[in-house]
Chains A and B, each alone.
Chain A
Amino acid sequence: MNGDDAFRLGLIGSGLITAEAHLPAAIASPLIRVSAIVDTVPSHAERLAESAGIRPRISTRLGEVLHEIDGALIATPNHTHAPLALECLAAGVPVLVEKPLATSVREGEAIARAARESQRVAAVGYCTRFLENVLFMSTLLESKFFGSVRRFAYQFGAVGGWSSLSGFHLDRRAVGGGALVTVGTHFLDRMIRWFGYPDECGLEDDSLGGPEANALATFRYASGLEGRARFSRTIALQPGFVMEAERGTVLLREGPSEPLRFRPADHPIVECRLIRPGGPVYAEDRGMFEHQLEDFVGACREHREPRVSVEQGVEVIRLVEDLYSRRTSMRTDWYDAARRPVP
């Protein structure tokens, strides 16, 4: 397509995630034409457009391009998501907002309300929901394939992380938290979809005023299901998910092409790879960002809910707020005995 019928997408923010994920996905999709890039630093946007070989309109002000686009992808520092999304929706422009939807439930609900009132799509960028292993896990849980689930554990750890152009991720206010938000919300979103909203939760983190680098979240459900999730920006951990259920153990490493592994409880020496008989929901030769964008375009054109709705985005923020409201300090006293303050 990519001609007159193409969906005119405005990229709001030309930082790292736009450069490495959203723009390549938009260019790869025959349904989409990038018609505008908005950034407060126009040279970033110009460089990005030039490197991609496209000639969209470059602007520093969202208001200047709203009448020229069919939808906006907002990929700016977290604390700016809400005002930008509200501006788009007020002008009747649908939005796909990078995760997290906003930095507070209040802001998230304002976006959801604006989407309802304007009858426009508001989707949230939890892109891992377009992965086959995540989707098939949902299907298997819904069909009670594993029997009752007893406990689960998840971890994601890497030394360092995205070097955002603006450095906003080093500012707790701009992030709306720390590692829990930047690396944890993808899992929180999936967890809510798989098991529902937890009945109890707790959090330990190592923040001393800034964004925490390490967080350990615990969850409890009325069914007796218990889970924990560890997120780190200072240590390397094999990222993945383990679930113990009545019929066996499920192992899923983090990643687009990782198989869903199952060890039946009655045959512990066997490990099976679980595959959907009819093939994946989304073609695996195209990336999750491309599927996410096309789902957004489809939702706008067909007037349907996107795969990740704004209400689901709000639920994740609510869980983040619940966790932070219960936070306790993680131990960091390994050198306390050796350090004595200078009088």
Chain B
Amino acid sequence: MRTAVFGAAGFIGASFVEHLLAKGVQDIRPYIHSTGGGWRLSRYGLDLRAVDITDRKQVREAIDGCTHVVNATYGPKDVMHGGLENLLAASLASGVGRYVHISSVSVYGDCEPGTTLREDAAPTEELTDYGRMKLEQDQRVEASCRKGLPSVVLAPPNISGAYSPFLLRVLSAVRKGSLALVDGGQLPCSLVDVENLACAMERALFCDQADARRIFVTDGDTPTWRDLAERLAPLAGRPLSIPTVTRGQAQAITTVPVKRGSLSGTLRSVGSIIAGPSTGAILREDPFLSGGYRFLNERLPERAKRRLKALLGPRREPARQVRAERFDADLLRVQLRAVRHSSEAAKSVLAYQPALSFGESMEAFFLWYTVTHGFESDSWSALGQL
């Protein structure tokens, strides 16, 4: 068995290679995009090769002789599409026994808040650019699977653990005071520790079912955003006094009106609140309005519901800081999703069991951060003045 890992310099790829090395797996071919990003793995003394996956010949040579291929690459559109096509074509041509692809829960878009999402849910029409790109990738993998490439597609939510860019971002927001908790932080924060994801990836190399159907991978226990903020607050060096906003306020901050000052813009702004993902949850709780909401939700055909939502709903614009607000709009938007992801399929298909709970995952992050950043060392406060 020889496993090629593309994107090995990235957060997921490097964590996976480290996981395999720790498990004693030796025959790994870690491929990196550029030599500058190879430091995390080069410390093992590995032979790291730079491969441009948009170059068909390079990809063919890299996959030659490999029995398993893992794709953890990330990049601009030509990498995500053209590069993926090259990986799939070379894997098919080489008769690779297993192709493991890292997808994302973002392919489902913003679902009804409060739901527990399953893999067979239909993606919403409103996807971010990233979600759309990952969805198109999944479709390409499915097509290759139909042609005979046994494929497993794993879809993680936000990824936590050591080196986690997501946690570093939340930590930075806590430190700067730009994190606001929606509804007091009670909304769920769907997470998977990168080591748990690596366990699932390892399982995906050997599992029986390889039909390219998407499989969620999570930690199992879903913390709230307040749980997450409380765990990170000590690293932020400040007491937990994180401001909170209501869902309506969060919605207003995260929605950018299309035409300010015009009637259509005002209507759309109002519509964005009415049709926003948290409105359903609010209406359901109202004793007077819940009946009407239930009627509309249950009786209206899906197509009509989508049209209504598109008509009234907010125009999704690329994630960005809203200048007028002090809060990080992206992190508010992530909270508003308020969706849990079921990892039942991962358990049954991959025999996946998370190695770390949320608490253990945060301990791993805490230890990693303390060691690598020198947190609480003699020089920590001095350097903090820079």
**A interface residues, Cβ below 8 angstroms from B:** 151, 153, 155, 159-164, 167, 169-172, 178-179, 206-214, 216, 228, 230, 232-235, 237-238, 240, 242, 244, 249, 251, 253, 330-342
Contact = CB atoms under 8 A, between A and B. Distances in A.
A342 B9 contact: no
Nearest to A332: B371
B379 interface: yes
Contact of B360 (A170, A211, A338): A338
B44 interface: yes
B166 interface: no
Interface residues of B, number: 44
B372 A234 contact: yes
Contacts, number: 135
22 contacts: A151-B382, A153-B382, A160-B36, A160-B37, A163-B35, A167-B48, A170-B35, A171-B42, A172-B45, A178-B39, A206-B43, A208-B45, A230-B379, A233-B40, A235-B373, A249-B382, A332-B371, A336-B22, A338-B195, A338-B199, A339-B22, A341-B24
A219 to B, nearest CB: 12
A235 B34 CA distance: 17
A216 B374 contact: yes
Interface in B335-379: 355-356, 360, 364-365, 367-368, 371-374, 377-379
A232 B378 CA distance: 18
A237 B22 contact: no
B43 A212 contact: yes
A210 B356 contact: no
A338 B200 CA distance: 13
Kindly list the 4 A-B residue pairs having the minimum CB-CB distance in the complex, ordered from nearest.
Answer: A209-B45, A153-B379, A163-B36, A233-B39
A206 B372 CA distance: 10
Contacts of A339: 19, 22-23, 195, 355
Given A172-B45, A331-B367, A341 B22 contact: yes
Given A206-B43, A253-B386, A338-B355, A232 B372 contact: yes
A242 B44 CA distance: 32
B39 A162 contact: no
B42 A211 contact: yes
Contact of B364 (A169, A228, A237, A335): A335
A213 B386 CA distance: 23
Nearest to B386: A240
A206 B371 CA distance: 11
Contacts of B25: 342
A207 B45 CA distance: 8
A257 to B, nearest CB: 15
B372 A214 contact: yes
Contacts of B46: 210
Given A210-B42, A234-B163, A335-B162, A164 B35 contact: yes
Given A170-B42, A213-B40, A342 B24 contact: yes
A249 B379 CA distance: 13
A170 B195 contact: no
B44 A210 contact: yes
Nearest to A153: B379
Contacts of A164: 35-36
Contacts of A330: 371
A228 B35 CA distance: 28
Given A213-B39, A235-B163, 4 more contacts: A211-B43, A251-B386, A331-B367, A335-B162
B225 to A, nearest CB: 23
B20 to A, nearest CB: 10
Contact of A228 (B9, B45, B379): B379
Most buried by A among B368, B382, B386: B386
Contacts of B24: 341-342
A238 B249 CA distance: 33
Contacts of A333: 367
B383 interface: yes
Contacts of A230: 374, 379
Contact of A155 (B42, B48, B364, B374): B374
B385 A251 contact: yes
A151 B378 CA distance: 10
A178 B43 contact: yes
Nearest to B46: A210
B44 A208 contact: yes
B23 A342 contact: yes
B50 interface: yes
Contacts of B45: 172, 208-210
Contacts of B35: 163-164, 167, 169-170
Contacts of B371: 330-332, 334
B38 interface: yes
Contacts of B22: 335-336, 339, 341
Contacts of B372: 214, 232, 234-235
A305 to B, nearest CB: 33
A130 to B, nearest CB: 22
A211 to B, nearest CB: 6
Contacts of A171: 42
A155 B374 CA distance: 10
Contacts of B161: 335
B373 A163 contact: no
Contacts of A207: 43
Interface string B9-45: 1000000001100111100000000111111101111
Most buried by B among A160, A171, A216, A244: A160
B195 A335 contact: yes
B23 A234 contact: no
Contacts of A210: 42-46
A179 B385 contact: no
Most buried by A among B23, B36, B48, B163: B36
B42 A242 contact: no
Nearest to B165: A159
Nearest to B163: A234
A334 B367 contact: yes
Contacts of B356: 338
Contacts of A169: 35, 42
Contacts of A170: 35, 38-39, 42, 48
A153 B36 CA distance: 26
A242 B195 contact: no
Contacts of A212: 43
